[in-house]
Structure 1
Amino acid sequence: MNLQGSIDLLKLEKAGIATIKNKKCVVIPVEENDLYVSMDENLKAKAVYLGVNINERREPSQYGKTHYCKQSLSRQYRDTHKTEAEAKSKVYLGDFKPYEFESSGNAATAVDAPIMQTDEEDDLPF
């Protein structure tokens, strides 16, 4: 099953919007949010990972959302930040719903999108 949705980055701890070099940027503290930073051989950051759990809802929401996302915290973070970890475990980061790829191109459509049907026969000769 493919899922489509969005995550609210400002729900992360002390995240905010800042202007850096005249560009609007999202700033997310690494340690406060238990982000994993992968370094290359020159000790330069090459990737930053946010652990997430995507869980299925018991029933779809009124907007067709069938799954929700919460942050997944490392055991080390949970052990050293017990109070914060408990509070963060209750924060929803986003919602998701199923989608299917169209047969042509890379565009995707939601599964619950209306499909036009007609009872008329095709005028095609084949």
Structure 2
Amino acid sequence: MTAHPARALLPLAVAVGLTGCTAEAPPPAAGPPAAEQRVGLTEWEIVTEGRPLAAGDVELVVTNAGAAPHDLAVRVDGDQRAVTPVLDPGEVHELGFTVAADERVELWCTVTGHHAAGMHTLLGVVATGAGP
């Protein structure tokens, strides 16, 4: 019996996916900058809209879409700006803070072991009216 071609690519896909978690730069923008963005917390991932944040006052609408308790902490260029309480599954919390163009926004879950399991991501910030 021969191996299915898609199965042969699975280890490569997993390796590529894992290396993306440690990137120093935010992922490429998937749309125009936003002053408000929805963020979902699942096992073991932080899901964003994929758009950069617009410079200025921003708001994240954080939903625990997972089955375990999660929270979300926000660090901007190394300075912690905001953190939600630990959210039970289904709970929603809004976080507001201010960012400037070209800052790097780091999101992560502070629940023990969750960051190591992959619950972290980066967002970029662009000047209002700037494209991706």
**Scaled by the length of structure 1, what TM-score is found?**
0.29
- Say which structure, 1 or 2, has more relative contact order (CA 8 Å, 6+ apart): 2
